[in-house]
Chain A
Amino acid sequence: MAKIIDRSISIGEFIPQPDDDLIICRCEEVTKGEIRRAVHDGMYTMTEIRRYLRTGMGLCQGQTCSKLVKGIVAKELGVPADQLEGGTSRAPVRPVEMKILANESEKEVSKHE
């Protein structure tokens, strides 16, 4: 169940940091500063951050950056990282070419392919 969050409670001003231009999500090239700013724009959940900035929406689907993003968001909100629910996982868990996904086959997968 979602935690109750009053979005009007102040988390303070956005204060620039020297490493704000550090790339966190490599697939979508999202920086730490953008993530921190998004929190100040009201994006308080991992999913909202994802939808706002596309973090974790690239080829690796967040396998590399989701922990990093979570850490940054949690710190900005002043909550422990494990209290933030991660983004949703969705099939396919590996990128699949359209023509392969389209090709549903009855032919079983055998040992010698």
Chain B
Amino acid sequence: MNSSAEVLIIGGGVIGCATAYYLAKKGIEVIVLEKNQIGEGGSSRNGGGVRQSGRDPRELPLAMYAVEHLWPILSEELGMDVEYYKKGNLRLAKTPAHIKILEGLTSRAQAVGLKVQMIDGEEVRKINPHLSDEVIGASWCPTDGHANPMLTTLAYYKNARKAGARFITGEKVLELKKVKGRIRKVITDHSEYEAETVILAAGFESRKIANTIGIDIPMQRVLLEALVTEAQPKMFEQMLGTAEADFYGHQSTHGSFVFGGSSGMDAYTSDYDRPVTTSFTASCICRGIMKYFPELAEAKIVRTWSGWIDECADKVPVIDKVEEVPGLIVACGFTGHGFGICPAVGTVLSELAMGEQPSIDISGLKYGRFKAKI
């Protein structure tokens, strides 16, 4: 079978699948190589937030474009319910210090045109009556929301595949090679592929692969843990977060709650070849949640999971054509908030791959932006 294509995408996560979909839809020949299985990394290990609020201004255009133009039609376009809810995001505060953090975030977002505002405890409970009296205020962005990351990834995959994109799973990319000054070869542990354009969207693994062609993206691996409850009666539809990031999450269509959170030790977990849950984080997340939602105390946790965040040095991704290596496009370092922007990222990556001008401003996400501080 032919092992060359116009565009080869490394990574079968939500970014790779979305990009493959937008390319295949335009009739471009695409191969996607995935080391494990579809959506194995961060794509199936995130809280499902589709937020604009709380984002760095450099990636806000992607987030706003996605929320305005892409998310609302995605289920229809992909013929599958991706469980998108545009019911707002509450970022909660329990102390004056929290309020201060939120005010800062809010005014920066307002400055770039996002409709987000500070509200007091009473208003918070009008939006979500299940919240405890400990909540004294929040930032409120009514156009934020959440979706199901696993279904979104698989929906992009299913449609990309249907449109002719060729997915090969179990193919671990070892090396990238230039031929006559351009990227050309992708060498895996079993085989060799060729393409005119290569898009590297392999989460944290991107760094190692990029290194084989002399490219480095400053990022590190940070453990993220989350838990899932059994199905509960419908309680609320907003996406939630907290000023201190003790937890974040939402209630899914199925009724279960998905809550992620941090123990404070996430950056120091052991160096394993797979993400493993720690013995203490889930307990910590539960304590966090119960302060905000006392009535969830009896909800049963059926599962916990963990994943790695590809945390970039300045906490926003690199989405760029790498000039040093013509034909190479990099999309990684999403730092735990790539899911919400995936439709927009897929769109611009498909444009970059086709040599078009990106329709969304990604000028702040360049590969060459990293400099020493003095």
**Chain A residues in contact with chain B, CB under 8 A?**
1-8, 41-45, 47-48, 51-52, 54, 57-59, 61, 88, 90-92, 95-99, 101-104
Q: Which residues of the other chain, A, contact B302 by a CB distance below 8 angstroms?
A: 57-59, 61, 92, 95
Residue from B161, B190, B229 in contact with A98 in the complex, judged by beta carbons closer than 8 Å: B229
Q: Does B298 contact A (CB under 8 A)?
A: yes
Q: Which 3 A-B pairs give the minimum distances between C-beta atoms?
A: A102-B286, A51-B150, A2-B170
Contact residues of A: prevailing secondary structure: loop
A91 to B283, Cβ gap below 8 A? no
Q: Which residues of the other chain, A, contact B287 by a CB distance below 8 angstroms?
A: 102
- 1/0 contact trace for B168-180 toward A, CB 8 Å? 1111000000000
Contact residues of B: prevailing secondary structure: mixed
Residue from B154, B167, B283 in contact with A8 in the complex, judged by beta carbons closer than 8 Å: B167
Q: Does B65 contact A (CB under 8 A)?
A: no
Q: Does B324 contact A (CB under 8 A)?
A: no
User: Distance in Å from the Cβ of A42 to the closest Cβ of chain B?
Assistant: 5
A98 to B154, Cβ gap below 8 A? no
Chain A, residue nearest B259 (CB): A98
A7 to B167, Cβ gap below 8 A? yes
A95 to B230, Cβ gap below 8 A? yes
CA distance A45 to B37 in the complex (A): 8
Q: Which residues of the other chain, B, contact A99 by a CB distance below 8 angstroms?
A: 286, 290, 297-298
User: Distance in Å from the Cβ of B314 to the closest Cβ of chain A?
Assistant: 31
Q: Does B280 contact A (CB under 8 A)?
A: yes
Q: Does B36 contact A (CB under 8 A)?
A: yes
User: Distance in Å from the Cβ of A19 to the closest Cβ of chain B?
Assistant: 25
B168 to A6, Cβ gap below 8 A? yes
CA distance A51 to B283 in the complex (A): 24
B286 to A90, Cβ gap below 8 A? no
A4 to B171, Cβ gap below 8 A? yes
Given known A2-B36, A52-B154, A91-B304, contact A101–B282 (CB-CB < 8 A): yes
Q: Which residues of the other chain, B, contact A44 by a CB distance below 8 angstroms?
A: 37, 169
6 further A-B pairs in the complex, CB-CB below 8 A; given A51-B153, A95-B301:
A51-B150, A52-B151, A92-B282, A97-B297, A101-B286, A101-B301
CA distance A101 to B299 in the complex (A): 11
Q: Which residues of the other chain, A, contact B170 by a CB distance below 8 angstroms?
A: 1-5
A95 to B300, Cβ gap below 8 A? yes
CA distance A10 to B270 in the complex (A): 42
B190 to A90, Cβ gap below 8 A? no
Chain B, residue nearest A2 (CB): B170
Give the residue among B167, B286, B287, B305 with the most A Cβ atoms within 10 A. Answer: B286
Q: Does B325 contact A (CB under 8 A)?
A: no
Q: Does B35 contact A (CB under 8 A)?
A: yes
B296 to A98, Cβ gap below 8 A? yes
Q: Does B86 contact A (CB under 8 A)?
A: no
Q: Does B308 contact A (CB under 8 A)?
A: no
Chain A, residue nearest B148 (CB): A51
- 1/0 contact trace for B150-191 toward A, CB 8 Å? 110110011001000011111100000000000000000010
Residue from A51, A57, A95 in contact with B39 in the complex, judged by beta carbons closer than 8 Å: A51
Q: Which residues of the other chain, A, contact B100 by a CB distance below 8 angstroms?
A: none
Q: Which residues of the other chain, B, contact A102 by a CB distance below 8 angstroms?
A: 283, 286-287, 290, 297
A48 to B38, Cβ gap below 8 A? yes
User: Distance in Å from the Cβ of A34 to the closest Cβ of chain B?
Assistant: 13
CA distance A57 to B40 in the complex (A): 16
CA distance A61 to B154 in the complex (A): 21
Give the residue among B229, B298, B301 with the most A Cβ atoms within 10 A. Answer: B301
Q: Does B75 contact A (CB under 8 A)?
A: no
